């Protein structure tokens, strides 16, 4: 992110990091290679994110109190 992140969260297996930017973006990072694997301009991203226990989904809340659930890519 070029600006501040509002939240970062690790996947349950520790291989992926999700970061939510205050500039309304969502990024997923593969930690072993330090490569960005997903970058979304997501107007609803912003406050917090959580992976499901199996790591297959990522939920995030917006500053409008709306929760969105995405399928998380497998590494």
Q: Residue 73: is its pLDDT beyond 80? A: no
Q: Say what the pLDDT of residue 44 is.
A: 62
Q: What is the pLDDT of residues 33-69, one digit of tens each?
A: 999 998 888 766 667 889 999 999 999 887 677 888 8
Q: Which residues contact 27 (CB under 8 A, 6 or more apart)?
A: 1, 18, 19, 21, 36, 38, 39, 40
Its pTM stands at 0.80
């Amino acid at each position: 992110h070029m600006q501040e992140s509002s939240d970062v969260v690790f996947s349950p297996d520790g291989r992926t990091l999700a970061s939510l930017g205050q500039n309304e973006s969502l990024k997923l990072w593969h930690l072993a290679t330090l490569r960005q694997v997903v970058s979304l301009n997501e107007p609803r991203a912003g406050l917090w994110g959580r992976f499901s226990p199996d790591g297959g989904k990522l939920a995030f809340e917006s500053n409008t109190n709306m929760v969105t659930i995405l399928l998380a890519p497998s590494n």
